[in-house]
Amino acid sequence: MKVPLAWRILTYDKRRTALALIGIFMAILLVFVELGFFYAVPRGGLLLYDNMKFDLLLASSEYEYQAQPGAFPLGRLDSVRSSPDVQQATPIYFGFAKWKSGEGGMWPDVFLIGFDPASHVFIPDSINRQTGVLERADMVLVDSATRPMFGPLDAGRVVEIGDRKVTIGGQYVLGTGFMGLGVVLASTANFARLFPQRGLNIVNLAAIQLKPGADPDPAAENLRKAVGPDLQVFTRKALEAHETAYWTTRTSVGIIFGSGLLISFVVGIMIVYQIVSTQVGRQLPQFATLKAIGYPDRSLAGTVSAMSLLIVVAGFVPALGAALGLYSVIRQETLLPVAMSEMRLLAVFAAAVAMALISALLSVGGLRRAAPADVF
Amino acid sequence: MARQGSVPLAWRNLVSNKSRLLRSAGGIGFAVLLMLMQLGFEQAFFESAFAVIRGLDGDILLQSVHKYQFATRDPFPRADLDKARNVPGVASARALYADWFNFFWKSPVDGKIFLVRAFGFDPEAPVFSYADVNADRDKLKEPNTVLVDRRARRFLGMDSAATEAELNGAKVKIVGGFALGPDFQSDGTAIMSDRTFASLLRGPAGNPSAVDIGVIKVSEGNDRAAVQQSLRKALPDTIAVFTKPELIEFERKFQAAVSSAGPIFAMGTIVGFVVGMLISYQVTYTDLADQLPQYATLKAMGYRTGYLLRVVFEQAAFNALAGWVPALLLSLLLYYVIGRLALLPLHMTAHVMLVSLGLTLGMCLISAAIAVRRVITADPAEVF
């Protein structure tokens, strides 16, 4: 009788129930949004890696996170290449320079990535289609998410980067993540022209592709022994864990969205509690009657819990739909890779059920007052 | 016709059922708390970006016209600062050397290396208004000495009792500290003399004769705007001349244009507002439904609808305040705790208080306006 009774109470006053649904919808939506941001930030930090082909990543022992990678001599790659597991080791160069062709005479900083286009180390088709463009002297590709303050990004535009004039050969689609406001891809030869004092002997990272069938974990272990303690070898899994830990624990991201998450959870409880306890209050004589004809407290508490659960589940479904829509808006507006995952969906559902049960627990207190003698 | 307003009806309604008041204050309060946190984070985000500019001890600030944000190196020739010094009305023109990308700090605690922000100035010509920095500036005259930010992120080990660390591979002596805190770009800060700054700076960015920010003080009795005009005339057009508020405004525009902080926190605030509206609608609607016979009685006695409306709106405003006040108190505690944990300048400001109060009253009054249609139509004959 619990669920049908709860259903009847809820559908008796449709207007009030609709209100409850909107409230719980908003609270669950907010939980989704805060959680989305929380995970999107490390995802943004991993954007470049997610778009690169490698099984292992070689970095200096000073590597902190992608934007502070440290550096090591190119010659150290020789020992890596001689390992029996390794198919290809591609050096990756990072550099910052002034983009002296910004809007309004501004010189925004641009992040440059140097690599050998023949290595095809990047996944996006828009890069691999344009390797011929990258090979041309003083021609570069610009990320399509580069901000408007860099001026037009049309192919053929000549811009000054550092002290050198280069031609934009085209755009590619990857995203700027947390690399900077603008990102440029250059061949190693063009990278060396842009940073003449640095040359190509100092490398920031190396993307290692293993031979088919090689297991990354033991291969990484072998490489660690071969390269020594001043270099580190990341498997993809270890790299993801490392970057995520950086963004969630070293920056304010964790606490900002974490506290937002917590408060939206409490707000959700408050809404359901508000609705359910009002209903309990309004139906008090009826509950008292049920008690008088012999229904135990436990059964009435079950009805109240069923009411909360029904409201929350009914609010969850549209909130999930709205969250998916909102995620795509956020992706476009903020360039943050906010996305849904099954784990997060389940976690939010569990949180919603918890909201329902906690608010039911709070409302049941009012039910105890349902003494038949008092009501009549 | 009874005299209107002689009985504080809204107040009596509010306090007649204490547990209901607690419930509605709790519901509205948490929605308000949500708005307060989002507003506070947004404020903290921008404030942390302005912290250093605010800490500069000058009226007018010079920088390269190409410099698009404060936290980037774009130096201009020292000679231009010398020109500025000779402009009438200028009391002092001092140099700040600053870098965000080329100073690597080795933590004295675990020996790990991190990028930090570095500032340099001539200890004889201080540019910061921080009392701690100015008290210790004489100690900076000794080569390779630094002052460190005690509020830097903890993994840098700047808050430890260590007296030595490494910057760019060179041993440096820690001779004092100050409390600035990180921003969304830098984890920590070291302040040193101009000489130490130039000798430690590595890479192609090193150019000790170039200045990042010119810090100008206007001599007493001179009009700031007039001096700013004279400076513009005296200096080449490669130099931008800002008053301090103008430079903060320039930075605010940049941050608002490139960062997602504005929309992210605005969205949280809007959700808080809508949720608060729903809760307060629920509160007002239930209350009106319960008191409908009483309202109808008042009407039958000859009270005008206007009076009844006023009672409903007054009560909605009381409900708003009953939620806002505890939420504000709780947010002060949360600001303090989260500010300490996240090292954010999370402070309650008059702006955040007023905006949140306005939003709270707005959501309660709007929802009361929707719910009140029931009272207007309360027909005494129908109720009994």
Q: What is the pLDDT of residue A374?
A: 61
* Angle in degrees, CA A34, A37, A38, rounded to 5: 85
Separation of first and last alpha carbons in chain B: 22
Is the CB of B66 inside 8 Å of chain A's CB atoms? yes
**Exposed / middle / buried, residue A328 (Cβ in 10 Å: 0-12, 13-18, 19+):** exposed
Q: Rounded to a whole number, what is the distance in Å from the CA of A247 to chain B's nearest CA?
A: 12
Q: Hey, are the CB atoms on A16 and B285 less than 8 Å from each other?
A: yes
- Cβ–Cβ < 8 Å for A67, A181: no
Q: Hey, are the CB atoms on B41 and A30 less than 8 Å from each other?
A: no
Tell me which of B215-224, B267-276, B288-297 is least confident: B288-297
Tell me: the pLDDT tens digits for B198-253? 999 864 444 567 899 999 999 999 999 999 999 999 999 999 999 999 999 999 99
Chain B residues with CB inside 8 Å of A21's CB? none
Amino acid present at B261: A
- Cβ–Cβ < 8 Å for B64, B203: no
Q: What is the pLDDT of residue B205?
A: 46
Q: And the tokens for B237?
A: 């057009």
Q: Hey, are the CB atoms on A250 and B26 less than 8 Å from each other?
A: no
Spatial separation of the C-alpha atoms in residues A354 and A347, rounded to whole Å:
10
Closest B-chain CA to A150? B68
Tell me: the pLDDT tens digits for A344-356? 899 999 999 998 8
Q: Give the closest residue to B35 by CA, choosing from B326, B356, B253, B364.
A: B356
Chain A residues with CB inside 8 Å of B74's CB? 98, 107
Q: Rounded to a whole number, what is the distance in Å from the CA of B254 to chain A's nearest CA?
A: 10
Tell me the average pLDDT of chain A: 89
Q: Hey, are the CB atoms on A263 and B27 less than 8 Å from each other?
A: no
Separation of first and last alpha carbons in chain A: 24
Average pLDDT over residues B96-112: 92
Amino acid present at A3: V
Q: 310-329 in B: which are within 8 Å (CB) of A? A: none
SS3 of residue B108 by DSSP: coil
What is the number of residues in chain B? 384
Tell me the average pLDDT of chain B: 89
Chain centroid to CA B124:
32
Closest B-chain CA to A263? B34
Torsion of CA A191, A195, A201, A206, to 10 degrees: -50
Q: What are the average pLDDT values for consecutive 10-residue runs of chain A, which has 376 residues?
A: 75 77 84 87 91 97 91 93 93 96 95 96 96 96 95 96 96 92 96 93 96 94 92 96 90 84 86 81 80 82 86 91 90 80 91 89 74 61
Confidence at B6, pLDDT banded by 50, 70, 90: low
Q: And the tokens for B58?
A: 């000058």
Average pLDDT over residues B150-168: 93
Is the CB of B26 inside 8 Å of chain A's CB atoms? yes
Q: What is the pLDDT of residue A204?
A: 97
Q: What is the pLDDT of residue A27?
A: 83
What is the number of residues in chain A? 376
Spatial separation of the C-alpha atoms in residues B84 and B58, rounded to whole Å:
13
Q: Give the closest residue to A239 by CA, choosing from A216, A218, A262.
A: A216
Chain B residues with CB inside 8 Å of A105's CB? 65-66
Chain A residues with CB inside 8 Å of B286's CB? 278, 282
Distance (Å) of CA A306 to CA A14, A114, A285: 17, 60, 19
Mutate which of A63, A146, A256 to test chain B, going by most B C-beta atoms within 10 A? A256
Cβ atoms < 10 Å from Cβ of B232: 13
Q: What is the 3-state secondary structure (H, E, C) of chain A?
A: CHHHHHHHHHHHCHHHHHHHHHHHHHHHHHHHHHHHHHHHHHHHHCHHHHCECCCEEEEECCCCECCECCCEEHHHHHHHHCCCCEEEEEEEEEEEEEECCCHHHCCCEEEEEEECHHHCCECCHHHHCCHHHHHCCCEEEEECCCCHHHCCCCCCCEEEECCEEEEEEEEECCCCCCCCCCEEEEEHHHHHHHCCCCCCCEECEEEEEECCCCCHHHHHHHHHHHHCCCEEEEEHHHHHHHHHHHHHHHCCHHHHHHHHHHHHHHHHHHHHHHHHHHHHHHCHHHHHHHHHCCCCHHHHHHHHHHHHHHHHHHHHHHHHHHHHHHHHHHHHHHCCCCCCCHHHHHHHHHHHHHHHHHHHHHHHHHHHCCCHHHHC
Residue B128 is classified by DSSP as B
Q: Rounded to a whole number, what is the distance in Å from the CA of A82 to chain B's nearest CA?
A: 30
Mutate which of A61, A270, A329, A333 to test chain B, going by most B C-beta atoms within 10 A? A270
Q: Hey, are the CB atoms on B278 and A27 less than 8 Å from each other?
A: no
Size of interface A-B (CB pairs under 8 A): 125
**Candidates B67, B278, B342; nearest CB to A256:** B342
pLDDT at B117 exceeding the cut of 50: yes
Q: Rounded to a whole number, what is the distance in Å from the CA of A84 to chain B's nearest CA?
A: 32
Q: Domain-by-domain residue ranges, chain A? A: 2-44+252-375, 62-229
Angle formed by the axes of helices B9-16 and B305-342, to 10°?
60
Chain centroid to CA A222:
32
Is the CB of B46 inside 8 Å of chain A's CB atoms? no
Spatial separation of the C-alpha atoms in residues A326 and B68, rounded to whole Å:
31
- Cβ–Cβ < 8 Å for B114, B107: yes
Spatial separation of the C-alpha atoms in residues B327 and B349, rounded to whole Å:
15
Mutate which of B41, B151, B264, B363 to test chain A, going by most A C-beta atoms within 10 A? B264
Mutate which of B23, B115, B116 to test chain A, going by most A C-beta atoms within 10 A? B23
Q: What is the pLDDT of residue A109?
A: 96
Spatial separation of the C-alpha atoms in residues B242 and A312, rounded to whole Å:
54
Q: Hey, are the CB atoms on A107 and B260 less than 8 Å from each other?
A: no
pLDDT at B1 exceeding the cut of 50: no
Q: Rounded to a whole number, what is the distance in Å from the CA of B271 to chain A's nearest CA?
A: 7
Spatial separation of the C-alpha atoms in residues B209 and B227, rounded to whole Å:
25
Bridge partners (DSSP) listed for residue B60: B216, B243
Q: What is the 3-state secondary structure (H, E, C) of A94-153?
A: EEEEEECCCHHHCCCEEEEEEECHHHCCECCHHHHCCHHHHHCCCEEEEECCCCHHHCCC
Q: What is the pLDDT of residue A269?
A: 87
Chain A residues with CB inside 8 Å of B260's CB? 333-336
Q: Hey, are the CB atoms on A19 and B101 less than 8 Å from each other?
A: no
Q: Which DSSP helix (H) or strand (E) runs through B94?
A: strand B90-106
Q: What is the pLDDT of residue B204?
A: 45
pTM of structure: 0.84
